[in-house]
Structures are given as C-alpha cells and as structure tokens.
Amino acid sequence: MKRYRPHILVVIALAIVLSTGWHGALRNALTDLRFAWQSRDASGSVVVVAIDAPSIEKIGVWPWPRRLHAELLHGLAAAGAADIAFDVDFSTPSDAASDESFLKALREVGGSTVLPSFKQPTPNGGAAHINRPLKPFSNQSWPAVVNVAVESDGLVRRYPFGEKLGDALIPSMAVVLAGKDANRRPPFLIDFSIRAASIPVVSYVDVLHGDAAAVGKLRDKKVIVGATALELGDRFSVPNGRIVSGPVLQALAAESILQGRMLRWTSDIGMILGLGVICLLMMYSWRRVAPGIRVAVLIASGAAIELVAALVQARWPLVIDTSLFHIAIIAYLTAIALDEIDFRSLLGRIAESRFHRIAMSLGDGLVCTDEDHRITVWNPGASAIFGYMPAEMIGRPFETLCAAPADGNARPSMHDAARQALLVPGGAVVVEFEGRRKNGETFPVEASFSGWQGTDGFQYGAILRDISVRKREAERVKYLAEHDALTGLANRNTLHAGLVGMIADAERQPREVALLVIGLDGFQQINDMLGHSAGDLVLRAVAERLRIEAGGKAVVARLSGDEFAIALDCAEAGEPIAALAERIASAFEAPLATGTRQHRVRISIGVAVYPEGGHNADDLLGNGHLALSRAKATRRGGHVLFEAAIRQELENRLTLESELALAADRGEFELFYQPQVRLIDGSLVGAEALIRWRHPVRGYVSPGEFMPVVNSSALSERIANWVMETACRQARHWELSGNGVRVAINLSPSQLHSGDLAHSVAALLTSTGLAPALLEIEVTEDILLHDEARVLDMFKRIQQLGVRVLFDDFGTGYASLSYLKKFPLDGLKVDRSFVSGLLSNSDDAAIVGSTIGLSKQLGLTVVAEGIEDRATADFLVSMGCEEGQGYFFGRPMPAAEFEKRFLAADLVAVDAA
C-alpha cells in the first residue's frame, strides 16, 4: 500500500478536480495565456463604424433619430462598403418620419444591410423576450443574431454560429458577414490572439459628414455599425483582463472566421494517453530514481506539453486541454515533497520547544511549581505583573505572591486548586485572590490553576492576570448600566426597577405610587441655535433642579433626549401629587444658569398614579407618556393626570388607522366631484376631486373624521397617490368623451417628502394621456413651509409641464403674501371662512376685495370657496372674482351623478336654480 500511496494521491486529486469542475478554470486560464503569448493582426476586411464619445458629443444624446442612420447608409453605400451590419436595436418604432427615412434608405441600398435580433431576459424569470427589427425593416434586410454567452467567470470566449429564435434558425452577425452557413454547428472559440486594436475603427460622425480619410477606409469592406462609447454600456469582458465593445467583439468573431481561426478543443484521448504515460513513468522511477531527477522530469514534461499546445494553437485552429496533465504533475510534485519530509522528527522538535515559546511569549503571567509549591518557571509576563525578575523568584514558594486577605481568610492553596482542576471538565480552576507586587502594592489577581504528572513528580501551573482594570471597568459598566452618562441620574432600567419595588411595597401596604414623566418644551431650538454642547449643559442643569425639587426619597431618571421622570411613594411625598407637579413646573419659571448663559426652559408633565394609572411599571411608564403627550398638546408648561379617556382616544385612533388600511386594500374609498363655475355666466370650468369613505357598516364617514388620521399616518402617500391617479383617469375619460373638465386635486405633504413629485406628475400624465391643462394642484401653506428651496424648484417644474398650481385656503396663514411673491402660482382660492360672512361682515368683504384686487395685479386666477347663495355669487362678480364653488352650484357628488348633471350634451351652463 505504501508503494502505491503517491499514485493513489494523484488519482484522488484528479477525481476531486473532475468532480468539482476546477480543471475547467485552469483550462481557460492556460488558453487565455496562449492568446497573450501569441499576437496576430486583423485582416482589415472588417471595419467598425463606432458610435463613440466624439459622435455623441457632436450629434447629441443617444438614441439618435433614425434619419441619421439613413444618411449613414447612403454614405456607406457611396463609399463602396461591401456588407453593412448594424449592432443597434431597431425593434421599437420611433417617430414616423425617421422610420420612413431609414426604410427608404434600406430599399435604396438594395437589401444588403444586416439588422440584429436578440433575446432579452424578462425580469420575472419567464421566457426570454425576442427583439426583432420592425417588420418593414426586416423585409428590406438580412437577419442576424448578436447574442453571446457569458461564462461563469464573467468572460466571453465562445461564439455561436446561430441561434433558434422562434421556429427559425438565425445565423450570428459575424457568420453572415463572413459569408458562412450556420448549419446548426456548435459554437467556436474566438481567437483572442487577434489584436482588437488592429481592427480598423472610424467614427460615426466622420462617415456621416463625409470625411475623406474615414470614407476611404470603407471601400470593399465589411462594416459593423455599433456603440463603443463607455456611457452606452455595450461592453464585454474577454480573456487576459481586456474589455471590448459589442461591435468589436462581433468584428473579432468575424475575423476568426475569415482567417480560419474558429478554435475548437481537441479530443480527450490524447490527454488520457499523456496522463497514462506520466503515471507509468512515475510508477517505474519512484524508488529507482532520485527525487531531484523526478522533479526535473515532471517540470520538463509540463513545459514540453505546454509548448506543444502553444505551437498547435498558433498554427492550427485547435486548442489542446492540458489542465489535467498539469494537475497530475502538481499532485506528483506534492507527493514527492510529502515523501521526503521527516514529519515525525519535525513534530518532535516542535513538541520540545512549544512549551518554552508559549511560556515566554504569553502576555499573561505564567508560573509553574514543583510538588513542594516552589517556583520553577517564571515568564516575562509574570515579571511585568509582579515586578520580580526570574532570578528573584525561581525556587521561592508560590505564597510569596499572595497578600494576606483583608477579611482574614486563608490564602489560596495552589495544591488544592490544582488537584481540584483534575476533577473538573477542562482541567483548570479559576480563583481570584489579592496579589502583592515587589513594591508592596496589593491588587486583584485572577489565577487559572492546573496540575499534571511530570517526570519529577506532580507539578503545578498557573496563568496569572492583573484584573485591576477589569474590576474598575466592571464597576464603571455597572454604573453606566444604571445611570445616565450625561446627567448622572438613574436611567430607564433603574427607574423601571425602582417602580417595580415601589409597586411591590404598595401591594403589601396599600398606598399610591406616582410617576411624573417630564418633557422640555422647545429644547430642540437650543440645540439648533447654540449647539449640542450648550444643550448638554441645559440638560445637566435641568437634572440638578429636578433632583432638588423631588427630594431624596424619589427616583429621578433621564428617559431619553429631553425626557425625564420622577417616581415616588405618594405616602412619602408630603404633599398631593398635583401640588408636587405644579411646584416642579413652577420651579422652572426661574432661569437655568449654565456658565455665562441663562436659559428659560418650560416643562410639561404627564402624571400616572398606581393603581388607577396602571397596575405595573410598564403601564405607568406608558400611561405617563400618554399624559405627557396630552400636556404638550393642550397645556404646555403645566401637567396632565392620566385618565382612561386619554388611552381610549389613542385606541380609537389606532382602530381608525387599522380600518383605513383595510379600506385602502378593499377599495372602499371613492372620489366625489364638486363643480367649479365661471361666476359671470355660471358655465362649468372644472371640478374639485374630494375623497369619501364608504364604510361597510357606518356608511359614508366624514372626511373631517378620517383625513387628519390619514395625513399623519403611513397611509398618507398611498391614498394621496390613489386620489391623484383616479382623478386624472376620470378627467381623461371626460376629455375623451368631449368634455374638457379641469380637475383640481388637493396635494398631501407626504407626496412632497417621498420623492420627486414633478417626475411623478409627468409620469402620470404620460400614462393616462391627460392634457396637462386639465390638471390643477391645490397646495396649502403648511406644505410650502417644508424645505422651501426644494418645493419652489418642484412647483416650477410642475408648471413647466402645463399643470396649474393654486394656493388653497388663502388668508388663513400668517405668511400668505410672502408666498405669493416667492412661489410660482397660477391662482389662489379664497377660504370659505371669508366668503361665508361676505354679505354681513364688512371686514370679510374688505379682505376678499383686497385679495381679488391683488391677484388681478399679479395675474392670478381667484376661486372663491363656500358660495351658498345667489347674493354672495353676485357680490363676488361685482368685486371681479372670476370663478367659484359651493353648495349653491352643487355639492360634492359621485362621478356618474356629476356627468348626468353637468356634462349632458345639451347642457352648456350650470343651472343655479
């Protein structure tokens, strides 16, 4: 068995390589290297007309009009090109004039043009999509496939003669140019020893403009027109780290055919015979010939077979696979190395020095003793810890290192610890004791004791560590785990534990436990204006004031950011909880001193009291936060005591959010349309799209009930996009039926925050086909407040599309006039709060009249909301208001009813009566 062991190793190596396919990677690498060693020029019969960077710079952004390809065809024909192939996609129509121009050029050149077809994978993993030239183009051209196969390493090596597209076998582009027949032949290896740089390339724009030097290179040549510019992405990785464009790859394939260099693998019989020869040679010479000679024979054999393979590949279109031969040689060289190394002796020498090297290189202290506990080994790590040199400690008792315990206990016994180590899994016992340095300093030591039977009797060892830093860090970690690092107050975990203890005491002796959750009002402004360092000083000052006001028996904690909490037993408070909360809030009326600055910070307090406000710590914390939220919303600077109604309100909101999500999934939302009319004659000019919810149980739910929840929930963007798409499709339906009804849509803030609204509007107009003039977007002041520069740019781009933008609820905000100046608006809507009191309130009349006059000077359309009667409508007309809406003209109604009432063929004006 020992005699045949090297040969078995070789067989195993070959079996592993064959089963895993690793030899394929070596075969490809060797073939690629031969391409690098050999170099041949292209014949010059194939010329690439490149859609390159200079062409794109002069002509414009790709894709170009097909009339340019038509002009190029005429230019190539006039230059005397023999064959013309386009590596350009002609599967989709462009503008009709350009397509007709290209078709005419195809006819005039006589149908000798080659146009590409290709398979394109679908995103969902289904059957590949076949892209063919448009039918008129294919009738005037030759078909060719341009697909190539990318191998597992990302490189292109093989080129197909053709591919079956549908029911027909279509030849590849290079095969057509070379004048060969596909005949269902297998793919061949492209000869990459042909230098890509030797293929003639002329620029598309030079041929298009009739450059004499460029045109002169085309006579009687086979021409491939395609993209070489980096930005067009038509690039392929090929052997030896090169990257070539698609047209150049097609040209290399055509050159391989024209030069008779369609490379193919040779039969495996020769490789099997070669393996047999090398195996027989090694079996014969293994014990008869010196190892050096065998190594030389193996290396020479590998060099010889590779030289033969390189010469064959250079002279004939054949590629010899030498991968397995080289793998066998490597396996035999490994076997020779393993056979010659004396591993037993090597392992012995390693075993002799291992302990010494480990002992001397350990960062920890290593001490060994004999059976009398006298030190026999003392490493540098022990010297660094205790301060003794080896000469000072060898032969001394181990107990020299131990300090007398402060509690009077006995010193640890190495004998007992080591003996115990033999009885536990792992063979070591870890003990902590007080050590003594040479200078008398004591410190905590961790020792891992072990024992073993040696040639000189039972011996002991200990790995020693100075754990002073670890002890200090553990204390610090414990402190940080229980306290807030910035303020030194208890943290949330400590507060929770304190609440649990207080509640447990309150259960045994019935009494109340109070939790005050405190939030700072306007703290973010301090951070924004003065920076976080100033904010940290304020938080420390707040913590100190809370600690003073709460007293020593309360747990004062920082929950997060600018939120604090106080937990206390009500029996120890000395005052009612409401009074305590008021006192703490009043304490912050005095400014906080932080260095040279003074800050006035108000606080809001939410109070939850056990047991009414929660039966455990988590309930108290949750309910305290709810009360704080209510305080911030209704009583800033004061306190709110938690009541069940607060949680009920939150649960109602959560229930409504859940129902709204189901409503969106089940399609329960509808759009109603309220007419907008020209006031002077009552004619219909548009409609405002308004969302309605048809609840399966409650019927129609008021928008005032559910829209505030929608606008502050994750559903906002989804529902807003649905409203916009539905309204646009309805407007397009009316437009196709001959009624150009302008539809107004209220914009949601979420649509501005989630992406490019202008792009979304453009895409929606394209998908629906709606004329931009029939879409109107209404925005409110709260939308304009967010990211002013970005919103301004977005609305400018929306207006450039032809969509109108109106300012809704004008007059109800504090900065409306400044927005008229800054933002690109087409009009504004006077809020119904001014219109409803127009006849009875002179102030409202003055405001509306001024608004109409200002709008006319600015060239803005004015739409009045909330018109309830004829008198109000007439008064608005007298003021110069152009458009209006309200119940007087029509309530919001479903699209079908709107069509019936306002879009009948014989109805040209709204019957206000």
pLDDT in tens, 645-684: 777 777 777 777 788 888 888 888 999 999 999 999 889 9
Percent of the chain with pLDDT over 90: 18
State how far the Cα of 424 lies from the Cα of 416, in Å rounded to an integer: 13
Which residue matches tokens 């509640």? 503
Q: Is residue 477 a contact partner of residue 534, using CB atoms and an 8 Å limit?
A: no
Phi/psi for 576 (5° steps) reads -60, 150
* Res. 528: pLDDT tops 80: no
Q: Is residue 182 a contact partner of residue 162, using CB atoms and an 8 Å limit?
A: yes
pLDDT of the residue at 909: 43
What are 194's strand-pairing partners? 40
What is the amino acid identity at position 509? Q
Instruction: Give 356's pLDDT tier (boundaries 50, 70, 90).
Output: low
In our burial notation (b when 16+ CB lie closer than 10 A, e otherwise), range 665-674 reads eeebbebbbb
Which residue matches tokens 């707040």? 542
Q: What would the mean pLDDT of 605-629 be, rounded to a whole number?
A: 87
Q: Which of 306-315, 416-425, 784-793 has the highest mean pLDDT?
A: 306-315
pLDDT of the residue at 913: 31
State how far the Cα of 176 lies from the Cα of 179, in Å rounded to an integer: 5
State how far the Cα of 669 lies from the Cα of 724, in Å rounded to an integer: 13
Q: How far from 206 is each of 59, 210, 212, 420, 778, CA to CA, in Å?
A: 11, 6, 8, 92, 52
Q: What would the mean pLDDT of 25-37 be, rounded to a whole number?
A: 81
pLDDT of the residue at 906: 39
Instruction: Give 753's pLDDT tier (boundaries 50, 70, 90).
Output: confident
User: For 126-140, 334-348, 747-761, which range has the lowest pLDDT when averaged over its residues?
Assistant: 334-348
Q: What is the DSSP letter of 471?
A: H
* Res. 685: pLDDT tops 60: yes
Q: Is residue 437 a contact partner of residue 443, using CB atoms and an 8 Å limit?
A: yes
Q: Is residue 335 a contact partner of residue 10, using CB atoms and an 8 Å limit?
A: yes
Q: What angle do CA 746, 721, 780 make, to 5 degrees?
A: 25
- The pTM score is 0.43
Instruction: Give 787's pLDDT tier (boundaries 50, 70, 90).
Output: low
The bridge status of strand 235-238 relative to strand 113-120 is unpaired
The predicted-structure confidence for 242-283, as pLDDT tens digits, reads as follows 889 989 988 998 998 888 888 888 877 777 787 778 788 877
Q: Give the DSSP H/E element, type plus range, for residue 829.
A: strand 827-830
Q: Which of 202-211, 352-361, 626-635 has the highest mean pLDDT?
A: 202-211
* Res. 8: pLDDT tops 60: yes
Q: What is the DSSP letter of 374?
A: B
| Average model confidence (pLDDT) across the chain | 83
Instruction: Give 348's pLDDT tier (boundaries 50, 70, 90).
Output: very low
What string of DSSP letters covers 130-184?
EE---HHHHTTSEEEE------TTS---EE-SEEEETTEEEEBHHHHHHT---TT
Closest CA to 779 of 834, 715, 721, 823: 823
State how far the Cα of 69 lies from the Cα of 500, in Å rounded to an integer: 82
> How many Cβ atoms sit within 10 Å of the Cβ of residue 117?
23
Instruction: Give 689's pLDDT tier (boundaries 50, 70, 90).
Output: very high
Q: Both ends of the chain: CA-CA distance in Å?
A: 113
User: For 350-364, 836-850, 870-884, which range has the lowest pLDDT when averaged over its residues?
Assistant: 350-364
pLDDT of the residue at 907: 42
* Res. 24: pLDDT tops 50: yes
Q: What would the mean pLDDT of 576-592 be, rounded to a whole number?
A: 87
Q: What would the mean pLDDT of 520-535 be, rounded to a whole number?
A: 81
387 Rama sector, left if φ>0, alpha if ψ -120 to 50, beta otherwise: left
Sheet bearing 513-521, strands edge to edge: 555-560, 563-569, 513-521, 602-610, 639-641
User: For 68-77, 362-371, 778-787, 833-842, which range has the lowest pLDDT when averaged over its residues?
Assistant: 778-787
What angle do helix axes 716-736 and 644-666 make, rounded to 10 degrees?
40
Instruction: Give 202's pLDDT tier (boundaries 50, 70, 90).
Output: very high
Q: What would the mean pLDDT of 285-294 be, rounded to a whole number?
A: 79
